[in-house]
Amino acid sequence: MAVTGLAMLAYLVAHMLGNLKIFFGSGDFNGYAHWLRTIGEPVLHYEWFLWLARVGLVVAVVLHAVAAYQLSRRDLAARPAKYERKRRRASYATRTMRWGGVILGLFIVWHLLDLTTLTVNPRAEAGHPYENVVASFRTWYSGALYIVAMLALGLHIRHGFWSAAQTLGAGNARRDRLFKALANGLALLLTCGFIAVPVAVMTGAVS
């Protein structure tokens, strides 16, 4: 679960940086989108790298969800009865990990239908990614769904990054504060970076 989580985190950082190119205008953003489809040429054909990345991401998401389910079942099996004394109250991010994962899973499906297959995008045009992003976030519900999902993502990363560090043996008593600070910083950076795009479109800063 930790390994797939970190792999997806690396993807999210790259994805956010690519998304922010929208602030440089349609030429830069569309050029970046075209470059993604030509990576590896001539060894790879057009869009092969992009589809390999998508397949790899889907595999990581599925393995992450399966691992979460298995760990949850093991936790219940190890402690079938409730604690006699109440445990220390966990953070909000920790307590919402499961539902946050469900929200993100559903959002991924919507996001693919919206900006990859263009199925639910009301004014989508194939080959015009900048215009499609603007068309999507001009509808209040698409922008609202995206923002809610990114807030859930931030909470998920806040707990998940620190937890992954502990699982992989990187964390200890001396480095605990450092990893918690990194987790908070990454969560804030990614949340703000992703949310900046729909907010910019909805306020007219990007059109």
| pLDDT tens digits for range 77-128 | 776 665 555 555 555 555 667 788 888 989 999 999 999 999 998 788 888 9
Q: Are 206 and 22 in contact (CB under 8 A)?
A: yes
According to the model, what pLDDT value does residue 91 have? 54
Q: What is the pLDDT of residues 38-53, one digit of tens each?
A: 999 999 999 999 999 9
Q: What is the pLDDT of residues 119-175, one digit of tens each?
A: 998 788 888 999 999 999 999 999 999 999 999 999 999 888 888 888 887 767 777
Residue 168, C-beta contacts closer than 8 angstroms, at least 6 positions apart: 2, 3
DSSP the chain: -HHHHHHHHHHHHHHHHHHGGGGG-HHHHHHHHHHHHHTTTTTSPTTHHHHHHHHHHHHHHHHHHHHHHHHHHHHHHH--SPPSSPPPPPPHHHHTHHHHHHHHHHHHHHHHHHHTS-SS-TT--TT-HHHHHHHHHTSHHHHHHHHHHHHHHHHHHHHHHHHHHHHTT---TTTHHHHHHHHHHHHHHHHHHHHHHHHHHHHTS--
Q: What is the pLDDT of residues 1-47, one digit of tens each?
A: 889 999 999 999 999 999 999 999 999 999 999 999 999 999 999 99
